[in-house]
Structure 1
Amino acid sequence: MTQSITVEQSRELDDKTINKIGIPSMVLMERAGLKIYQDMLDNKELNLDNVLILAGTGNNGGDGLVVARLLETHGYKVSILTVGNPDHASEDHKKQARICDYYQIPKVFMNANFDKYTTLVDALFGSGLSRNVGGDFATVIDNANGSAPKIHAIDIPSGLNGDTGEVMGTAIKAASTSTIAYPKVGMLKDEAKPYTGKIYVDDIGIYRGNTFENA
């Protein structure tokens, strides 16, 4: 049976892995990005000819930027739409954004036509979302859901409550999701299935005990 964790447990495990065990957060972000990229290659339902990364300014968005770089360096066409105030971005997100700038990955803006892309990557919010989605984020989610390309979500479809599986105002309807370390309990509820699609569970070295146990 697949192990699952709550949002609070996910937060605690991140803190333990980074601050107690001592694995730097950038290392975990790099591992996550590589796993997500590999999941996308594995999912033959995704057309990776022209990918748009929808990136928030937190670490979930940072994971998306790693994916953008891996796509770029492996010959795929990729662009980035950053949603939110970059001045308030997490430190790891800022580092990944500078790396993407080095590789000159194209940036697009809120008026981008999502229908011109073949796959969208949802890297807007992680599992810790605590209030209903609004503003530009709601606009982007609704535009993504209403567009032609399939969506691959990172960790949890943005707008989905990680504990209850409920939609918080609006939520990404993903064809597939790469969840980090363990699925969040809300993702496994019946009402969440139309939003998560196929779930990949990515082992990046975050464990409840001292060994990998998510089987």
Structure 2
Amino acid sequence: MLTISCEEMKNIDSYAINNIGIPSIVLMENAALKVVRNIDLHNMNRFTIICGVGNNGGDGLAVARHLVLKNKQVDLFIIGNLDKGTKDFNTNLNILKNIEIGFTNISKDEDLAQLKTSLDKNDLTIDSIFGIGLTRRVEGLYKEVISLINHKSKKILSVDIPSGLNGDTGEVLGISIKANITITFHLIKKGLLENREFAGEIIVEPIGIPKKATSAILKKME
């Protein structure tokens, strides 16, 4: 099984976007569709989605949209400064606003009560807080949110990587989502295999990145 580092994945993404010309928002949409494809929509109707403000969070916003369009009940939470959202995160957030899908911005301890209520009622929690770029220790409100998710959720799906896990080493950066299933994209990240206890079942999904991008980057990294 071919595994890659987080740096290699970022470079493959960049090559696909900048050298091949695939818009990054297309890759994000493909990722979201693959996440939805792996959800048991026949038996699950209520979802809690927790997003950060980076591209991993953007994946989560797109997942939320597709679930709502399938007439599912979605409680959407965003943690982080909305003024610091990435371009593709903001694109998906604007779409949600335009179709009047609401969300709760978790910015203080008082906002956690709504999250607790949602976690108690849902069928599945979707973790889309941090992506593969996380290297710092998880602290503060993020730590509280992850702890709540782990303790209250019936089942957890992580998008690309469990939030709080180092994508290269599998190290828990203070605290990490303990996922039942992780849907990772394109190729498996080394850290997922190093910590299956937190990754759970790992499913690798293609999102439309050509082999040329992978080959070009991996040859450079040799």
Q: Is the 8 A contact 1:78 1:106 kept in 2?
A: no
Please give the alpha-carbon distance, in whole angstroms, between the structure 2 residues aligned to 1:148 and 1:167: 19
Q: Structure 2 vs 1, CA of residues 182 and 24 (structure 1 numbering), >3 Å: closer, same or farther?
A: same
- Structural mapping, 1:37-186, within 5 Å: 37-41=36-40, 48-108=44-104, 109-112=111-114, 113=116, 114-186=119-191
Q: Is the 8 A contact 2:52 2:130 kept in 1?
A: yes
TM-score, with structure 1 as normaliser: 0.90
Give the SS at the match of 1:41.
coil
Q: Taking every aligned residue pair, what percent have the same amino acid on both sides?
A: 40
- In structure 2, what is the equivalent of residue 201 of structure 1? 204
Q: Is the 8 A contact 1:120 1:150 kept in 2?
A: yes
TM-score, with structure 2 as normaliser: 0.88
Give the SS at the match of 2:65.
helix
- In structure 2, what is the equivalent of residue 16 of structure 1? 15
Please give the alpha-carbon distance, in whole angstroms, between the structure 2 residues aligned to 1:211 and 1:168: 28
Structure 2 gap ranges (5+): 105-110, 216-222
Please give the alpha-carbon distance, in whole angstroms, between the structure 1 residues aligned to 2:29 and 2:129: 17
Give the SS at the match of 1:161.
coil
**Structural RMSD (CA):** 1.8
Report the residue type matching 1:71 in the other structure: L
Give the SS at the match of 2:176.
coil
Deviations 1:48-69 (A, max 9, x none): 2210110000000000011000
Give the SS at the match of 2:113.
coil
Q: Is the 8 A contact 2:164 2:172 kept in 1?
A: yes
Deviation at 1:206, TM superposition (A): 2.2
- In structure 1, what is the equivalent of residue 24 of structure 2? 25
Give the SS at the match of 1:81.
strand
Q: Is the 8 A contact 1:69 1:103 kept in 2?
A: no
Structure 1 gap ranges (5+): none
How many residues align structurally? 206
Q: Is the 8 A contact 2:46 2:72 kept in 1?
A: yes
Please give the alpha-carbon distance, in whole angstroms, between the structure 2 residues aligned to 1:4 and 1:39: 21
Give the SS at the match of 2:188.
coil
Moved over 4 A (4+): none
Deviations 1:137-167 (A, max 9, x none): 1111000001032110000000011111110
